[in-house]
Amino acid sequence: MDLPTDNRFMPELPEVEVTRLSLSDRLTGAQVLGCRVGKPLRWPLGCESAQLVGRHLGAVRRAGKYLWLPLLDHGRADGGLLCHLGMSGSMRLVSPSEVAGVHDHFDLVTTAGVLRLTDPRRFGAVVWGPAMDLGVPGKLLSRLGREPFDPALDGAALKQAWQGRRAAIKPVLMAGDVVVGAGNIYACEALFRAGIDPRMPAGRLSRPRADRLLQSVREVLNEAIHAGGSSLRDFSADGHLGQFQTRTAVYGREGQPCRQCGTPVRRVVQAQRATYFCPVCQKR
């Protein structure tokens, strides 16, 4: 499959969740032995590296596209590290003998191995905070919309949040201020499954269509997580590559027949991102 040239393979919610799943069991309970900070990332670490030594890691959590690594001191919560993969980053466990490369900007040395952030564009970050909802982590996470898998989230909440919005629904969905996780690929696929034209004003979304869209977002994200993501890059500590992008219905398929009706898939640019859709199956 030819990859769309506009796609920067930015890690989205499924890729971050794949990272969390691959790291959590290995890191939980591990002790921090050291820390190395390379070239500056988006935000400074926010503490002295020595402050992390001797702490133990709790279960890795995810909030949107962020990972939270809780730190424990004698079993009691003692802050943590909020991690973001930026536009090009990945985190993996490597052997202590593996020398850091030019794009490896953060190492957390633990008894389970070295947790390494590799980020060629350096838009990622690792930030310490006293708690997930305090300090810099609290400020960053407070900007996020609700998790797509939140059982309390329903179509009515989407419809109400977008009421009166004239902007096209696809970039509004991607904005993440109402519901997080629908990156470019996943927004295209979810809107196709819901039968919604990505150019439709968000404020015109009816309650039945809002229900369908939320269900489609959840289905697409779940499938992407089980496929290991969709970047064809390794976001798993086990070395498995993401495969969701090879089975998309519309994304990256401009000019190819729609899998449902055979009409050629169209491509337009919205908010500087490529949007793929079927002009027949998706209605305004």
The single-letter code of the amino acid at 46 is G
Is 267 a known active-site residue?
Answer: no
Give the whole-angstrom CA distance, residue 44 versus residue 261: 51
Q: Considering the candidates 204, 233, 259, 273, report the single residue annotated as catalytic.
A: 273
Is 39 a known active-site residue?
Answer: no
The single-letter code of the amino acid at 42 is R
Q: Considering the candidates 15, 17, 20, 65, report the single residue annotated as catalytic.
A: 65
Give the whole-angstrom CA distance, residue 216 versus residue 201: 18
Is 11 a known active-site residue?
Answer: yes
CA-wise closest residue to 170 among 254, 268, 279:
268
Classify burial at 97, counting beta carbons within 10 Å of its beta carbon; exposed 0-12, middle 13-18, buried 19 or more: exposed
Is 65 a known active-site residue?
Answer: yes
**Which are the catalytic amino acids?**
11-12, 65, 273
